[in-house]
Structure 1
Amino acid sequence: MSSKRPVRRPGPARLRLLAASAIVLPLVLTACASDDDIDLATYVEDIQPADTLYNQGLANLNAGRMKEAIAKFDAVDRQHPYSEYARKAMVMGAFANYRQGNYQEAINAGKRYVSLYPSTEDAAYAQYIVGLSYYRQIRDVTQDQADARKTIQTMEELVTRWPESEYVEDAQTKIRFARDQLAGKEMQIGRYYLERREYIAAVKRFRVVVESYSDTRHVEEALARLTEAYFAMGLASEAQTAAAVLGHNYPDSQWYKDSYALLQSGGLEPRESKGSWLSQAGRAIIGG
């Protein structure tokens, strides 16, 4: 014998209650919804033709509306990836971010372009934007010079990979400036040690300038400071050689006059020792 109890069907009153509940429930849900609720339909992006988005980006760029231009170029890349317009939008987006001061975004976009399209005509331009973005972030010599180093690395790569590019000349100008910054940083640290009579540490810094940054404006002072440091250490031959190299390359400079007077105060005069590292480094100096 089955022990199951029969299923009771709802009576007329129960059916009426259920029907009323079915009507009321949507009304309650609607009433609970506020104006601030998120409509998921708004997250469906309006897909537009690639050329339309790209041209809108250019129009905004020409009008100086950089944020709007960036948004349009990003939309091209997002909606039409790996298309010809996406390729163009990537490099133009890098430029727009650079103009807007979004240097890291410009660097990322430029590097991505060069990685994906290294053989296109715009690759050198993308590399140039990366270099400019680093260049714009170079700080005073009293601060870290990481961006100066990155500027040199990026611009030297441009010159090497795209030697016929129209951006080479300016890239070389930016390289010279960044190298001057690095030399200036070495000088700033060297002077700090010199003032505290930490002569060995000072000499190391000034030597870096003479050997690695001989084409910068700081080499003249570096030679004078080496004369001063060696003289203070009692290393007469090194002091005389530093002054001699300074006089050979910058005979009319005040730095040489001061160095000459310093040596004379000790009964010395400039005399180059051919076996010195200074004598060898002096051959690479482009003096005035």
Structure 2
Amino acid sequence: MRAAKHLCVLAFTVLLAACSSNEVKVPESLTEAELYQQSSEQLENKNYSGAVDTLRALESRYPFGPFAEQAQLDLIFAYYKSLEPEASRASAERFIRLHPQNPSVDYAYYMRGLASNTADLGLIERYVPVDMSRRDPGQARQSFNEFAELLRRFPDSRYAPDARQRMVYLRNRLSRYELHAADYYMKRKAYVAAINRGRYIVDHLQGTPVVEEALGIMVEGYQHLGLNQPAEEALLVLKTNFPESKLVNAEGEFIGHRVYSDVDPTLLNTLTFGLFGKDTPKKEKTVEEEEEENGPSLLNTLTFGWLGDNGAPTAPEPPAQ
């Protein structure tokens, strides 16, 4: 039932995308205060695309007015909620560059990291469950570094707790990516490459949920290469840190690594983006998945965010100046 719902949403979205309207022109007669009032009402009504148009008009017509800086903060938020993370990130970068002493600049740092975290989410990823740890981790690393910069510059920021939580999620995602790569090399008998990936997790991503399996890959890789001493050393580390590990039997013997995704998707599963057919085992919920557990409503999807809940992960509204 849920899969059918996803397919209907995607079909209607693709069908209506060709009919989407052009940018709405903002009347030239509006004053700065009227433009800001209009944009505030649009944000309150969740008309984020309309707010983008109004805020851009305000900024271009009154670049040095009393509402200019607040409009730039609002524009960061409006772009993000309009599912334009690249534009949101660029707006945040611009605000940081132009107003480094602004009391709300920490919001721009936070939104920059949040936008980078969702920049690689396309239409499929937003509305259909996809294992993002199998995707290129470039955006995840960038987002992690940007959240880290926020914490370094503003450790007491109101956005710091959420940034820390997102960094934990991103670190776990990066570790799963490395484990997927290690498993790929193991299946192709490239044991040295698999060992190196496993060692990277153990050395640099301690505390993530896949360290146990990374050690298992190291043990098995060394065994295939006939390197008994390093295999025994890795096995000792595994048994010491994970005494209840399923990779070791009751007699303390290694029984083979259990890969993170030990189920290969079928052709049907691949063609339907994981909606049908055998899929990977259920994994832990991420920050984004918890926020979007029920997903955007059908009404929101069909109206491109004008009505119903929006498909972007939750983001705080910009603080008032």
- Does residue 218 of structure 1 match 2:214? no
* Alpha-carbon distance, 1:48 to partner: 3.0
**1:243 aligns to what?**
235
- Does residue 175 of structure 1 match 2:180? no
State the alpha-carbon separation in 1 of the partners of residues 160 and 26 from structure 2: 44
* Alpha-carbon distance, 1:255 to partner: 2.8
Aligned 8 A contact 2:249 2:255 in 1:
no
State the alpha-carbon separation in 2 of the partners of residues 258 and 48 from structure 1: 77
Aligned 8 A contact 1:180 1:217 in 2:
yes
- Does residue 207 of structure 1 match 2:199? yes
State the alpha-carbon separation in 2 of the partners of residues 193 and 130 from structure 1: 34
- Does residue 92 of structure 1 match 2:54? no
For the residue of structure 2 that corresponds to 1:261, the secondary structure is: coil
State the alpha-carbon separation in 2 of the partners of residues 196 and 56 from structure 1: 59
Aligned 8 A contact 1:227 1:259 in 2:
no
> What amino acid does structure 2 have at the position aligned with 1:239?
A
Q: Among the aligned pairs, what percent are the same residue?
A: 27
Aligned 8 A contact 1:47 1:79 in 2:
no
* Alpha-carbon distance change, 118 to 248 in structure 1, aligned in 2, over 3 angstroms: same
* Alpha-carbon distance, 1:166 to partner: 0.9
For the residue of structure 2 that corresponds to 1:180, the secondary structure is: helix
**1:279 aligns to what?**
none
- Does residue 188 of structure 1 match 2:180? yes
- The two structures have a TM-score, normalised by structure 2, of 0.65
> What amino acid does structure 1 have at the position aligned with 2:100?
P
* Alpha-carbon distance, 1:254 to partner: 1.2
Aligned CA RMSD, in angstroms, stands at 2.2
Aligned 8 A contact 2:52 2:78 in 1:
yes
Q: Which of 98, 116, 120 is the aligned partner of 1:134?
A: 116
- The two structures have a TM-score, normalised by structure 1, of 0.72
* Alpha-carbon distance, 1:256 to partner: 4.0
State the alpha-carbon separation in 2 of the partners of residues 69 and 263 from structure 1: 59
Q: Which of 247, 263, 277 is the aligned partner of 1:255?
A: 247
> What amino acid does structure 1 have at the position aligned with 2:192?
I
> What amino acid does structure 1 have at the position aligned with 2:188?
R
* Alpha-carbon distance, 1:84 to partner: 3.2
Q: Which of 39, 49, 64 is the aligned partner of 2:31?
A: 49
* Alpha-carbon distance change, 196 to 51 in structure 1, aligned in 2, over 3 angstroms: same
Q: Which of 152, 156, 160 is the aligned partner of 2:152?
A: 160
Structure with the bigger percentage of helix: 1
* Alpha-carbon distance change, 44 to 91 in structure 1, aligned in 2, over 3 angstroms: closer
Aligned 8 A contact 2:222 2:228 in 1:
yes
> What amino acid does structure 2 have at the position aligned with 1:102?
E
* Alpha-carbon distance, 1:171 to partner: 0.7
Aligned 8 A contact 1:240 1:263 in 2:
no
**1:28 aligns to what?**
none
**2:60 aligns to what?**
78
**2:219 aligns to what?**
227
The one-character-per-residue Cα deviations of 1:241-288 (angstroms, maximum 9, x if unpaired) are: 111111222111213449942379xxxxxxxxxxxxxxxxxxxxxxxx
* Alpha-carbon distance change, 146 to 58 in structure 1, aligned in 2, over 3 angstroms: same
**1:69 aligns to what?**
51
* Alpha-carbon distance change, 259 to 81 in structure 1, aligned in 2, over 3 angstroms: farther
* Alpha-carbon distance, 1:141 to partner: 2.3
**1:36 aligns to what?**
none
* Alpha-carbon distance change, 67 to 44 in structure 1, aligned in 2, over 3 angstroms: closer
Q: Any stretches of 5+ residues in structure 2 without a counterpart? A: 1-24, 122-131, 257-321
The one-character-per-residue Cα deviations of 1:33-59 (angstroms, maximum 9, x if unpaired) are: xxxxxxxxxx99615332221121111
Considering Cα pairs closer than 8 Å and 6+ residues apart, tell me whether 1 or 2 has the greater RCO: 2
* Alpha-carbon distance change, 212 to 44 in structure 1, aligned in 2, over 3 angstroms: closer
State the alpha-carbon separation in 1 of the partners of residues 119 and 246 from structure 2: 33
* Alpha-carbon distance change, 61 to 255 in structure 1, aligned in 2, over 3 angstroms: same
State the alpha-carbon separation in 1 of the partners of residues 109 and 72 from structure 2: 12
For the residue of structure 2 that corresponds to 1:165, the secondary structure is: coil
Aligned 8 A contact 1:97 1:106 in 2:
yes
For the residue of structure 2 that corresponds to 1:120, the secondary structure is: coil
State the alpha-carbon separation in 2 of the partners of residues 109 and 132 from structure 1: 13
